[in-house]
Amino acid sequence: MATKDMIERFETVIEAETLIKQDDRVSFFEMLTPALVGGIIIGIIAGIPVLSLLIFLYPIGGYVAAGLVKEYYEKKISAKDAVKIGAFTGIIGGFFASLLLLIISIFFANEIIIVVREIVGTTNATMLLTLSGLDPQVSLYTLRLRFSVNVALCAILGAIGGLIFAIRRKK
């Protein structure tokens, strides 16, 4: 009798551990809200002219999103999941950055050009603003190019941010 109860308890513990191991994977819905938060961070950094040249800051969004998933859902995040979270965050950030850059280009391009020219000079201002994607004559070609670059670059750097999170948590 006692051994039968012990065997049933042991089987119950094994089933519970199996469920916990299966639950360690991060689902799409679990990473959605943290990815939106991290994507807004990346989008603000990547969407504001001149600030967008600081690409070493882009991984912050992926790092924050992976951290939010870990804290909110209390999961042990693998490096693979952290990279997925970071890449998804970067894609959202690329969309948001493109939208922000479009709005700034339409409404504030001339004012930003004047301010940047006063600060760094005409030659340097043209180079800085061209590299950061600010174009007062917004065209469909420019929008497509900037959108593609933003999404690809933000996704790669967001994935790097997620990977940095996973590496730092393993230590």
Count the neighbouring beta carbons within 10 Å of the beta carbon of residue 23. Answer: 12
**65 CB-side CA count, 13 A:** 42
Each residue's pLDDT tens digit, 137-162: 677 787 888 899 999 999 999 999 99
DSSP code of residue 52: G
Give the pLDDT confidence score for residue 122 in this predicted structure: 84
pTM for this model (two decimals) = 0.80
- Distance, CA of 100 to CA of 143 (rounded, Å): 12
